[in-house]
Amino acid sequence: MEATIPPDWARRVAGYEPDGGPSGADWLRLMPGLVGDALDRWQLTVTGAAMTGWTALVLPVEQDGVPLVLKVVWPHTKSRQEHLALRLWDGEGAVRLIAALPSTGTLLLERLDARRSLDGDGRSGGRSPGAVDTETACAIAGGLLRRLHRPAPPQLLALADVLGPLLDRMPTDPRVPRRVTVRVRSLAAELVARADPAVMLHTDLHYGNVLAGGREPWLAIDPKPLAGHPGYEVQPLLRNRFDELGTGPALRWSVRHRLELVAEAMGVDVEEARAWSIVHTGVQLLGCADAPADASRQMALLKALDD
């Protein structure tokens, strides 16, 4: 079976501007060669249809009868050190890395059940009746994050270095209210100045990035690793499954309740987690230029966290 690139996904990726590597369009032209090289190098056979994420093509494959997945990622800043984190975790709480070609963003991984995530049916791209209830999901995800935290290797990109340019952009972005800019930049400066020993962070562990496994019930996938404070990791679990949070006073209560559940499971002080979540939410606002609904949700989350 040959690998087929989904056309809708290819059209979206073709619009990506370079971010430390080729543009999405240039990378797509390289894609057939990257996939073919990996299949030959690791003696893989494609066994099913391609799956896609925002920046990656994932193919179910077999190697000597063992089911695996081949992941080919558009090279960009956030993905650059995925292989490093997976290698250091070595399957403890995360999908196991079998082999990697870091220069091309090509990873060979153990196969998990893409049909079962904490968010339900992973193939549908949204929550389904199979989703794990929110309280249990928060406990599972928080427990995984706690297992993934370990001393950060010196070559890992630092959270403070990533935040710096983003925070510098905030005052010049008219879509970010001035009061938000002042609050987030001030709080970020205070948090970074404390200079806690950095741990290795996943940074993008939301409910859809926890899949069912064979050797463990649940395992993390798709890290965007950084070195920093673990409190920064809570926010994806607050902003996802947002419709379950309610509105008005119920929204504030639900956000704080999730925050407490995740922080407890992670072993992180809840006030530290809240402060870092405010900063993380402010940074998320910068990515909502063409998504007013997302911006509205981020502002609602920010208010619930900071009131």
Domain count, the chain: 2
pLDDT in tens, 256-307: 999 999 999 999 999 999 999 999 999 999 888 678 889 999 999 999 999 8
Closest CA to 108 of 100, 118, 119: 100
Mean pLDDT across 89-105: 95
- pLDDT tier, 50 (very low <50, low <70, confident <90, very high otherwise): very high
SS3 content of the chain, % helix, strand, coil (to 5): 50, 15, 35
For residues 176 and 301, membership in a common domain is answered with yes
102 and 137 both lie in a single domain: no
- Rounded-to-integer distance, Cα 261 and Cα 265, Å: 6
Return the exposure string of 2-37: e unless at least 16 CB atoms fall within 10 Å of the residue's CB, then b. Answer: ebeeeeebeeebeebeebebbbbeebbeebeebbee
Q: What pLDDT score does 200 carry?
A: 96
One domain for residues 86 and 146: no
- Its pTM stands at 0.93
Active site residue 204: yes
Radius of gyration for the chain, computed over Cα atoms and rounded to the nearest angstrom:
19
Boundary of a domain, candidates 111, 144, 179 = 111
Is 1 inside a domain boundary? no
Establish if 116 belongs to a structural domain.
no
**pLDDT greater than 70 at residue 127:** no
- CATH number, domain with residue 139: 3.90.1200.10
Domain region containing 231? 128-306
132 and 253 within one domain: yes
Give me the catalytic one of 204, 222, 294, 307: 204
Domain boundary among 111, 139, 171: 111
Q: Residues 65, 142: one domain?
A: no
